[in-house]
Structure 1
Amino acid sequence: MNVMSVFETPFERSGVVTPGLPVLPPGVERHPVPGGGSRAVEIYRGDEITIQDREGLQPVEMVFFAPDGRSDAAMIGAKGGRDPKGLKAALIRDPSGRRVVRALEVAGFDLGKADGSLVFAEGSRAGDFAAFIAGQDGLLIVCAAGEPMEPHAQWAPTEVVLYVRRANPALAKAGNQPPDPLADPLRDDNIRPGQAVAYEVKAGQYIQILDVQGRECSDFQAFSLRALDKGLEREIDPTTTRSLMGSLYPMPGLHAKYFSVDHEPLIEIVQDTVGRHDTFGLSCTARYYEDLGYPGHINCSDNINVELAKWGIRPRGGWPAINYFFNTLLDDTHAIGMDDPWSRPGDYVLVRALTDLLCVSTACPCDIDPANGWNPTDIQLRVYDKNEDFKRSIGWRKTPGADLEETKKTGFHDCFARHTRNFVEYNGYWLAADMTNHGAIAEYWAAREKAVVMDLSPLRKYEVTGPDAEALMQLCVTRDIKKLPVGGIVYTAMCYPHGGMIDDGTVFRLGDTNFRWIGGNDQSGLWLRKQAQERQMNAWVRTSTDHHCNIAVQGPLSRDILKEVIWTPPAQASVEELGWFRLTIGRLHGFDGPAVVVSRTGYSGELGYEVFCHPKDAEAVFDAVWKVGEPMGMVPLGLKALDMLRIEAGLIFAGSEFDDETDPMEAGIGFAVPLKSKTDDFIGREALEARKASPQKRLVGLEVLGGIVPTAGDCVHVGKPQIGVVTSAVKSPVLGKVIALARLSVTHAEIGTEVEVGRLDGDQKRLKARVVPFPHFDPTKERVKGNY
């Protein structure tokens, strides 16, 4: 039994690698099992079963039922005799359990008589696997067992993956079959390449357009039936839609609608797992193929004409359409180009009809360019009833080949939803952009003068534990972790070997061998785990983001608010005693209250704290803080105001002040790289020493004249040559001037240097500016230290 041959590998052909199209060996099925959740899979005699622990230390419960209802772990070669308590709890608690319950009910199996077995009972490392062979047909249930994690703990249930190699490959589900419907569909059609389907949809119903194989364009158009009844052809107009929504293509959220030329909203986007579609909106036409030397080539516009003729709609030479999954681009000369679509197998868009519609969908037949990755494939079309409850979501993947995750609500989402409907997607979560009855400016001033509360739950949390935990952190971050005391926090950078930054973040030390990494993206946590695996270190790195949600309470009154809310035991520091970059473990109100971790940290440049709790306690934590804070003038704060605060305070942001080509010195956080005092080696040290000895770029502050706020990425010039770029800019309310952060050549980075920010083409419009010290506001950080 060659276990290693069951795992997926990136698709590769002639030197072209596409990680987003993973390939499974023939006859192998892959079934992810979420942490704390379960999965039921039909098994046949002789099937090879492999369970892989993705992150380590995840116990797995298994139950196997024969067709006659008997349960015996020996039927798959496992050791039984265990009550599957974790599985029973998961079926009640986790949404994935509902499908398992249905499978058990259909088969008539009694879980109370199940012979459970435990996989990885002695503990496991990331990537470990266990293998079994089925001795007969039956139903296998796999559970990644585990209870919700408390904020002061360091173990949370995580995903495992079940692989099944079928003894009879003909019984294996092909890797890219249409996934299960989102609900019971009213219609479920497979559209083959070169086909189109027209169909009517009632107001409120949902339409799912799904790319089965990946990299396939699907044209979509919808007509108002009310207008058609009047003899008017009023379909989705791309130009009107983009003008009203302010976006090339609507996305889930406030700006989600598609309009006709009469400004009638026709559909709205509810879910989109891709987020990248066509920019210009014309289905492929006969003329396109003719001009390339392919007369008579089947095309979407002609197919649409044939289908719509049944409703008496006049034909057109080329149909404006929403080209879902198609990837067009504009180059610097404004020429239109194309490349492979962004969609991966199973990607989809889900839209809701806002009125009665006549719709048409296609599977594009183009096989002469990258429009469909040179290989036209099928599209699945599904329509669902208006009574279904589909949440707004934008697809998120930790890595190109990772499983799709829907946009999540944080534990505090409903609390902030009392104050706003303007939520935007941020790294896989919904966060408030601003508050309905306040707005960014009012929220900003509340942070400067009183207090604010904001949701920072999407920050990525990873638990780093084990005898080598300190050694792993010392290897992977720039700060000297050996000097970090228990209860201490340090801000640091994490770098690749060439010196470019993976992320910035904070390290919490909860014990001698217990650390928590909190960063902005998953790449940092995955990098930590990769190093532990490759170097065979006795340490585990496990994600806990969804088990730790956190609000930041920031502003001059933050201490006064939290001291009324947080109780700490005698051995822990109180809120009033808590020092800068220190943490304390406490409870809400008193000894019996929900557990919280409070850190004196923030991202506002003001005195402030963060409060971490489990999602189940989030509402109670928010309400307690709000009850004390609201009478004192505290308001909720969204991302727009947060950006103002952090730019004024000179706090950097991924993708703006740094990326994987930027080192910490160039990003303005050279203080986080103590090359002299940290004598131990760490990843990137050699490169950083060379970069520091011969610096090329430096992050500086700018004051910009003229009242125009530059855009991130605007070029910075001295005369004709470009000498840098703007990374972030804002009109500072407290300073009353436009300020910016910019990365400039060190030859022009001295305080007082006169520069110009280029607009339009960089030459036709210039904003005068000069280099000034940063942070622009409170440069000595007296406010964040509480020294008012």
Structure 2
Amino acid sequence: MAITPLFETPYERAGILLPGLPVLEPGVERHPVPAGGSRALPIEAGDEITVLDPEGLQCGELVLFGPDGRSDAAMLGTTGSGRPEGVISVLANGSPSGARVARALDAAGFKLGKADAVRVFDEGSRPGDMATFHASCDGLLIVAAPGGPMQPSAQDTPTDLILYIRRANRRNTKGGLLPPDPLADPIHDINIQPGEAHSYEVRKGQYIQILDVQGRECSDFQAFSMRALDKGLERDIDPTTTRSLMGSLYPQPGIFSKYWSVDQEPLVEIVQDTCGRHDTFGLACTARYYEDLGYPGHVNCSDNMNADLAQYGIRPRAGWPAINFFFNTMLDETNAIGMDDPWSRPGDFVLLRALTDLICVSTACPCDVDPANGWNPTDIQVRSYGATETFSRSIGYRKSAEAQVEDTKETGFHSRFAQHTRNFIEYNGYWLASDMTGKGALAEYWACREKAAVMDLSPLRKYEVTGPDAEALMQLCVTRNMKKLAVGQVVYTAMCYDHGGMIDDGTVFRLGQDNFRWIGGNDTSGLWLRQQAQERGMNAFVRNSTDQLHNIAVQGPLSREILSALIWTPPTQPTIDELEWFRFTIARIGDFDGIPLVVSRTGYSGELGYEVFCHPKHAPQVFDAIWAEGAPKGMLPLGLEALDMLRIESGLIFANAEFCDRTDPFEAGIGFAVPLKSKEDDFIGRTALENRKAHPQRKLVGLEIESGIVPSGGDCVRMGRAQIGEITSAMRSPILGKTIALARLDLPHTEPGTAVEVGQLDGQQKRLKATIVPFPHFDPTKERVKGNYD
């Protein structure tokens, strides 16, 4: 998506464009200010301070304290507005960023109640609006993006601000960047220059942070058991043992969650990873590697590790197996290894926890003869932290290539699902339950088919689309006709690029004449909406409300009975019993004074069902109320594994399975969501979709597979020796007693009743006999969704 041109441009050199490495002007720093949160930073006289509102309609507040504790807006060259109510509210709302700022103020002894605030964007702002100030003295700057909880039926979501500081006194650092602040008070804080290795001791329970300061730099890591070294044994992280115990036969990109020695002693586990792409276990670079390339004598990590580990009596090796953090390797179909530039950005890190007392060694790789370090070796920062520190488990998530990395989040309902399971997996930046401990996916599946189930769908992306041109923007960007969408109605639709490929599928809620809510599977769709509004000069705002609206789905034959017993709606809104398919109602738990909700008659299970939206702070109470009513009726919590079974049976599509940006809605099986005849207005992708519909090439079909073997997504589908398509999703259907699949096939071979074969192994040596059938496989007339049960 577009980057603010005033400060950031993608790294570009000789035709190579790297959006993941945004380049700031020399001396400029970028600091995101979270929605409803704050930042505190030291400022020096002469610094230029700019606040950017990237999404629009977000007010901001600044406070500058001088070294003597005095606060006066004149120190920022402007007139103040008195007591900083916005900053005070943010610091009192319990947010993590507010707590950090409060600690900084306490440490400095500054009195916030006596500060003189500077307010920005009070009168409303457009996306990209900025306000700039200049500091006349040194001090501590606080910037807040105030905003309270958004009601589910409202659209006043708080959003992020971005603070830029152009330093009057530039800091000269190799590579241009300083390491980010430590996660806590460090025990070790070691900067490793390229071509160096450093060893260090870490005790059981302590944490190790390996940080790529400038980005695109590899770091080899090894760890030795002190217990074994005391016995004269060298027991380091062993590739074969680790792969075997983790159930992975071959090396592969990525990292394992835990690492063992050859004695099967666990040595380290991964706690956080912001990059997501590493190598386990190529060798650390060796002298022979460079010699064979024609660079004899080139400095290398293995020799560096040998030299530094000698102090512990560890014998040298010609090549050290290692966790090669940030090393971007890949395997081809013959398991030949290749490499490319690392994925790591400036500040990316991996956080490990020591599972026993360790001697560790880390390097900053000196390789400058291939893409391993982006052709430009830079520094690595190694820090260790005490065992008493608390770090949540996290896998870094980015909304786009240029976006700031975000930690994996817990949804508002997490604590309640955690009462039923320990099996959570990362999904689009959040932890979601895979299945329920002691129940399992099959029991959850049958609960939904026969009684009721409740599932967490909070990671669905929500964007508030408002303003006089909101309808025109939605009409331009989605395939359905927004002019026919009534207030209180929901419609399922596709969003496409110009070439007809799908960005996302999702639902649009109409809350008012100029008020829409887009709910999709990814952030790309919301960013696309905002980009179109900005590029076309439309008077519409697109603001992210994902963390203001968390939702659970209550699905199954008893879902109406459960919800109607506890949800109150005002006289102007339909009751749960009156709510029609693809409509929503404004509601509350219990009565007029209950927790505010939006309830829609939608779902992803193929059953009668509803989605319940609330603010995350109310999520535990909402779950408890629904659980108290539903559990006695046999309702179970349901995880992603069972949800996948339900949606495949019901013919519901999923991103990167049934569709991607090279798949149009017709090929994805949702041609009904593209009403080319009844929607006369132009929309993005229309011309391409008209052409694709007139000249179809592929079609999504159902398969029944004779054997009990369930194929994998991507397995080839063949007629004779020729491949005619591939499996998109497959399962063994409990209710049908068959193995079924969805597959995308070349159009000439898509007639129901056609016999095909699913190829496994090399696609030729093993075949699963199958027959093309209509889909959905289960309840093709949608009678159950409509609530018509036998």
Q: Shorter-chain TM-score: what band?
A: over 0.9
Do residues 7 (structure 1) and 3 (structure 2) align? Answer: no
Aligned to 2:503: 502
Q: Distance in 1 between matches of 2:253 and 2:288?
A: 29
Going from structure 1 to structure 2, the CA distance change for 1:416 and 1:507 (only over 3 Å counts) comes to same
- SS of 2:409's equivalent? coil
Match of residue 387 from structure 2: 386
Deviations 1:186-229 (A, max 9, x none): 11111111111112211111111111111111111112222222
Note the alpha carbon deviations across 1:275-325, whole angstroms, 9 max, x for none.
111143311111111111111111111122222222222221111111111
1:781 matched to 2:786? The reply is no
Matched ranges for 1:455-494 at <5 A: 455-494=456-495
Match of 1:233 in 2: 234
CA distance in 1, matches of 2:464, 2:722: 47
Q: Deviations over 1:470-524 (max 9, x none)?
A: 1111111000111111110000000011111000000011111111100000000
Question: Structure 2: which amino acid aligns with 1:775?
Answer: P
What does 1:388-467 correspond to in 2, within 5 Å? 388-467=389-468
1:112 deviates by: 1.1
Shift of 1:367: 1.0
The letter for the 1-side match of 2:17 is V
Indicate the larger mover: 695-704 or 757-766. Answer: 757-766
Q: 1:440·1:641 contact (CA, 8 Å) conserved in 2?
A: yes
CA contact (8 A) 2:217 2:377 kept: yes
Matches within 5 A, 1:344-743: 344-743=345-744
Q: Partners of 1:110 and 1:91 in 2: how far apart?
A: 13
Amino acid aligned to 1:13 = R
Partner in structure 2 of residue 148 of structure 1? 149
Residue type at the aligned position of 1:20: G
Q: Give, as a single letter, the amino acid of the residue that structure 1 aligns with 2:675.
A: P
What amino acid maps onto 1:97 in structure 2? Answer: G
Q: Percent identity?
A: 73
Give the corresponding residue for 1:111. 112
Deviation at 1:161, TM superposition (A): 0.7
> 2:639, 2:174 → 1: CA distance?
45
**Aligned residue type for 2:585:** T
Cα distance between partner residues in 1 of 2:305 and 2:173 = 36
Unaligned runs of 5+ in 2: none
After TM superposition, the structure 1 stretch with the greater mean CA deviation from structure 2, 388-397 or 357-366, is: 357-366
Indicate how the Cα distance of structure 1 residues 552 and 5 shifts in structure 2: closer, same or farther if over 3 A, else same: closer
**2:48 corresponding residue in structure 1:** 48
Aligned length: 784
Deviations 1:429-475 (A, max 9, x none): 00001111111111111111111111000000000111111111111
Quote how far apart the aligned CAs of 1:250 are.
10
Give the equivalent residue in structure 2 for 1:19: 19
Q: CA deviation at 1:704?
A: 1.3
Corresponding residue SS for 2:465:
strand
Partners in 1 of 2:472 and 2:666 — Cα distance? Answer: 24
Question: For residues 558 and 359 of structure 2, what CA distance do their matches in structure 1 show?
Answer: 57
Deviates more, 1:714-723 or 1:496-505: 714-723
How far did residue 572 of structure 1 move? 1.2
Structure 2 match to 1:32 = 32
Separation in structure 1 between the aligned mates of residue 447 and residue 27 of structure 2, nearest angstrom: 60
Question: What's 1:158 paired with?
Answer: 159
**SS in structure 2 opposite 1:169?**
coil
- Whether the aligned pair in 1 keeps the contact of 2:579 and 2:601 (CA below 8 Å) is yes
Provide the C-alpha distance between the structure 1 equivalents of 2:68 and 2:388, rounded to a whole number of angstroms.
38
Amino acid at match of 1:605: G
Kindly indicate whether the alpha-carbon contact (under 8 Å) linking 1:700 and 1:744 is maintained by their aligned counterparts in 2.
yes
Q: 1:610 to 1:251 in 2, by over 3 A?
A: farther
Question: Which residue of the partner structure matches residue 265 of structure 1?
Answer: 266
Report the Cα offset of residue 561 of structure 1: 1.0
Q: Secondary structure of the residue that 2:74 maps to in structure 1?
A: helix
For the Cα contact (< 8 Å) 1:6–1:24, is it kept in 2? no
C-alpha distance in 1 between matches for 2:153 and 2:739:
42
Is there any run of 5+ residues in structure 1 with no aligned partner, and where?
A: none
Structure 2 letter corresponding to 1:516: R
Cα-Cα RMSD: 1.7
1:726-781 CA distance string (max 9 Å, x none):
11111111111111111111111111111111111111211111110000010001
Whether the aligned pair in 1 keeps the contact of 2:253 and 2:280 (CA below 8 Å) is no
Distance in 1 (CA, whole Å) between partners of 2:435 and 2:625 is 22
Q: Counterparts of 2:43 and 2:104 in 1: how far apart (Å)?
A: 13
1:662-715 deviation per Cα after TM superposition (whole angstroms, max 9, x unaligned): 100000000000000111111111110011000011111111122111111111
Looking at structure 1, the residues matched to 71 and 231 of structure 2 have their Cα atoms a distance apart, in angstroms, of 64
Say which SS state the counterpart of residue 200 (structure 2) adopts.
Answer: strand
Letter in structure 1 aligned against 2:41: V
Which segment drifts farther, 498-507 or 33-42?
A: 33-42
Name the residue aligned to 2:278. 277
- Give the counterpart letter for 1:778 in structure 2: D
Question: Contact (CA 8 Å) 1:251, 1:269: kept in 2 or not?
Answer: no
- Given that 1:198 and 1:358 are in contact with CA atoms closer than 8 Å, whether structure 2 keeps it comes out as yes
Indicate yes or no: 2:189 matched with 1:192. Answer: no
Tell me by how many angstroms 1:268 deviates: 0.8
Instruction: Tell me the amino acid that sits aligned with residue 499 of structure 2.
Output: H
Q: Which amino acid aligns with 1:527?
A: W
Report the alpha carbon displacement of residue 106 of structure 1 after superposing the two structures with TM.
Answer: 3.6
Distance of 2:229 and 2:6 partners within structure 1: 54
Query: Aligned AA for 2:51?
Result: I
In 1: Cα distance, 2:486 partner to 2:327 partner: 53
Given that residues 252 and 330 in structure 2 are in contact (C-alpha distance below 8 angstroms), is that contact kept between their aligned partners in structure 1?
no
After superposition, the C-alpha distances for 1:46-80 in whole angstroms (9 at most, x for unaligned) are 32221110100000011122333332223323331
Tell me which amino acid in the other structure corresponds to 2:177: N
1:353-400 Cα offsets, whole Å, 9 max, x none, are: 111112111111111111111111111111101111100000000111
What TM-score does the superposition give when structure 2 sets the normalisation length? 0.97
Q: Which amino acid aligns with 1:519?
A: G
Is the 1:238–1:281 contact (alpha carbons within 8 Å) kept by the matching residues of 2?
Answer: no
Q: Following superposition of structure 1 onto structure 2, how do residues 111-150 of structure 1 map, counting pairs within 5 Å? A: 111-150=112-151
Aligned residues of 1:166 and 1:172 also touching (Cα < 8 A): no
SS for the counterpart of 2:201 is: strand
1:760 aligns with 2:761: yes
* Alpha-carbon contact 1:250-1:258 (below 8 Å) kept: no
